[in-house]
Amino acid sequence: MNSSPLESIPVGREKIRLLESKSILHRRALLKMIYTARAGHTGGSLSCVDILNVLYNHVMNITPENFSELNRDHYIHSKGHSVEALYAVLADKGFFPFEALDSVETYGSYFIGHPTRRVPGIEQNTGALGHGLSFAVGMALAAKMNGRNDRIFTIMGDGELAEGSIWEASASAANYRLDNLVAIVDRNTLQISGRTENVMAMEPLDEKFSAFGFAVREVDGNSISDLIGVFENLPFEEGKPNLILARTIKGKGISFIEDQVQWHHHVPTDAEFDTAMLELDEAEKALGD
Amino acid sequence: MSENHLPIGSTNLDIFSKTLMELAEQDRDVLVVTSDSRGSGKLTPFGEKFPGQIVEIGIAEQNLVGVSAGLASYGKKVFAVSPASFLTARALEQIKNDVAYSNRPVKVIGISAGVSYGSLGSTHHSLHDFSVLQAINNIDIVAPADNFETVQAIRAAVHHPRPIYIRFGKKPMPDLHAPGTHFEIGKAIQLTPQSNHYDVAFIASGETVFRAYLASQALAEKGITCCVLSLHSIRPFDEDAVLHAAVNSKVVVTVEEHCVNGGLGSRVASFLMQAGVFRPLRIVGIPDEHTVTGSQVEIFQHYSISQQGLSQTALHLLEKESVS
Ligand SMILES: Cc1ncc(C[n+]2csc(CCOP(=O)(O)OP(=O)(O)O)c2C)c(N)n1
Ligand SMILES: [Mg+2]
């Protein structure tokens, strides 16, 4: 499970297919988690899980073996409510057994509804939005101070971008020329109350982040091959922090969950869960051999 | 469940949003300001009915409070509604300077307060709000116990001349008060008959009050008499009521959905000490530790904020008292 030879497979059709199949596994695991716990953030976990998959299984130098070391890549889950996606990817990576996830959100469990450092593989406690980027700036700056080029990755929600602290962090990332910082926006266009553009208009996001000094790239954040492609070009520009606008679909992968505002924290019923699992079986078959 | 002994009402959250609709109907200057919190605040119907009286800020709690203060300066009656945890931590400086210090009478409404968010964990819990706000001058602090107290507190808040913070949770609450009960911000309500001899004084606030009340009923069956105070206002602090309860009791138990440091219990203890009233006292709340994972009820039970836990706490205190 954890000693997958994925890293050693050259990028190509086979690797993409393997990662796509992992995404399906992650989706199954996270839905089961939410279904079992009767709680969770379904839509946002499904929208960012492909990015996490590519980061952990292709891009970042983070393993259960090197996790206790400082000199490696780092990941901060700024949109902490989508913890189920992170739990699924970390379990698959071998940080803890999948069975541990049966206890998510139960009495006395360390697996709560947001990331905490009590869980192996998690680097920082998050859940209040708008904190991850500042923390990542601090890590990226410290790595540079130590003469290291460890890369710091973080995923933020698009609704989260309304927090002023994001823009304070952005200014400091550019000021300190942190080209080892990779900020990713899960641009699923939804938050709790509706469309992000109706709740608080933030477009044009690319121009805003560019103006703050980021090198900005856009990508289909649910396409494994597109994601692999964009991360290949890091850093996008020397001396500039990296910003990836990942166009995603909230609830991606399950037809009746996709792009539905109420699925932010809706929990599947028995019937919905069964249908979702069937859809994932179909998706698995469609991958072919 | 033990709640069965009392008639169950609505959630204080539902009552809050219903009351706000009534107020907004009568007064076009009543405004609601939200931070992607209209759903969590049960304010979607409000937004549909009074689109001109709701201001959406997005996920930006500091801006929420700052903008609310500015709106209030124009005489608007502003209810700034967001989870208690984010309002009183992230936007604390805006509450301190723009609202309290500058005396802009914003009604700061902390929803899903205490450990209402259960297993979502510490980022979402507000176990610090009584403490930090008590250290800031010029903002009243109210934690209603039931639907009646919630309606009254929200109505009173509209014309309240000072900044006010009101916090509550999202579980249905039993009705505690007889019809016609008098409510006033800053005046505690006694739930048990008046007397000059109690064994135990329970001084509680918010959604822990009914649990203290149930404990008092269980103790009554053992012949132990209790005074139960709903101290809905942490500030203004009702010195007379607390003094009466403590002076006439053998032991004092305070109960709150808050950290045991700096909240209701600390306030009661420091007041009684300085008033020269020395009683064996227990502060029941969430201890200073990494809060256990669980639902609100599981967390309460874990830390003895339950009928059984509170009865036992009172009994132990009484035993010790009779030995000494
Ligand atoms: C500081 C803060 N305010 C409010 C919340 C409550 N909250 C949790 S998720 C969420 C919506 C997030 O929307 P978005 O960032 O777009 O995330 P996604 O669509 O990826 O789920 C809100 C308001 C929070 N967790 N932290
Ligand atoms: Mg979003």
Residue A257 inside a domain? The answer is: yes
Fold of B12-167: Rossmann fold (3.40.50)
Residue A121, domain member (yes or no): yes
Tell me which ligand sits closest to the C-alpha of residue A193.
1
The atom number, within ligand 1, closest to the CA of A264 reads: 21
The answer to whether residues B208 and B305 touch, using CB atoms and an 8 Å cutoff, is yes
* Domain range summary for chain B, segments of one domain joined by +: 12-167, 189-323
pLDDT beneath 50: ranges in chain B? 1-3
Distance A185 CA to ligand 2 centre (A): 9
Q: How far apart are CA A213 and CA A241, in angstroms?
A: 7
CA angle B169, B35, A241 (to 5 degrees): 125
CB-CB under 8 Å, B293 with A162: no
Please give the class, per CATH, of domain B189-323.
alpha beta
pLDDT at B317: 98
Which residues 55-84 on chain B approach chain A with CB closer than 8 angstroms? Answer: 56-60, 62-63
Angle at which helices A42-54 and A224-232 pack, to 10 degrees?
A: 50
Domain tally, chain A? 1
3-state secondary structure A211-223: HCCCEEEEEECCC
What's the pLDDT tens digit per position in B234-268? 999 999 999 999 999 999 999 999 999 999 999 99
Provide the 10 A C-beta neighbour count for residue B186: 15
Contact present, B65 and B99 (Cβ < 8 Å):
yes
Q: What percent of chain B has pLDDT over 70?
A: 98
Per-residue pLDDT at B323: 79
* Residue-wise pLDDT tens digits, B129-159: 999 999 999 999 999 999 999 999 999 999 9
CA of B44, closest CA in chain A: separation in Å? 9
Angle of helix B147-158 relative to helix B12-26, nearest 10 degrees, comes to 30
CATH number of the domain within which A168 lies:
3.40.50.970
Q: How far is B116 from chain A (nearest CA, A)?
A: 13
- Report the pLDDT value the prediction gives residue A1, as an integer from 0 to 100: 41
- A44 CA from centroid of ligand 2 (Å): 7
Quick: pLDDT tens for B194-208. Answer: 999 999 999 999 999
Q: Give the pLDDT confidence score for residue A149 in this predicted structure.
A: 87
- CA-based end-to-end distance of chain A: 20
Alpha helices in chain A (DSSP H): 13-37, 42-54, 83-93, 132-145, 164-175, 196-199, 205-211, 224-232, 270-287
A217: containing domain: 11-287
Residue A58: closest CA among A30, A97, A98, A22: A22
Which of B:259-298 have CB within 8 Å of A? Answer: 292-295, 298
Choose one of A34, A166, A191 to mutate for the ligand 1 pocket test, by most ligand atoms within 8 angstroms of C-beta: A191
Separation between Cα atoms, residue A50 and residue A180, nearest integer Å: 21
Q: For residues A30 and B199, what is the distance between their CA atoms, to the nearest angstrom?
A: 53
Residue list, ligand 1 pocket, CB within 6 Å? A 41, 43-44, 47, 79, 81-82, 127-130, 157-160, 186, 188, 190-192, 196, 250, 264; B 36, 59, 61, 86, 90
pLDDT at site A4: 53
At B270, give phi and psi (nearest 5°). -70, -35
Cβ-defined contact of A108 to B58 (cutoff 8 Å): no
Where chain A has pLDDT below 70, the residues are 1-5, 289
- Residues B264/B295, Cβ–Cβ less than 8 Å: no
| C-alpha dihedral, A267 to A272 to A277 to A279, nearest 10° | -120
Residue A1 lies in a domain: no
- Matching fold, domains B12-167 and B189-323: yes
Q: Is residue A30 part of a domain?
A: yes
SS3 A121: coil
Residue A229 CB: number of other CB atoms within 10 A?
Answer: 14
Strand partners, B30: B77
pLDDT of the residue at B321: 84
The ligand 1 atom at the shortest distance from the C-alpha of residue A158 is: 16
b/e B120-141 (16+ beta carbons within 10 angstroms → b): bbbbbbbbbbbbebbebeebbb
pLDDT of res. A71: 94
Mean pLDDT across chain B, nearest whole number?
Answer: 97
What pLDDT shows up at residue B141?
98
Is residue A206, in this structure, part of any structural domain at all?
Answer: yes
Write the pLDDT tens digit of every residue in B42-52.
Answer: 999 999 999 99
Query: A104, A117, A198, A199: which to substitute to probe chain B, counting the most B Cβ within 10 Å?
Result: A199
pLDDT value of position A288: 77
Please classify residue A87 by burial: count the beta carbons closer than 10 Å to its beta carbon, then call 0-12 exposed, 13-18 middle and 19+ buried: buried
Classify strands B30-34 and B54-56 as parallel, antiparallel or unpaired.
parallel
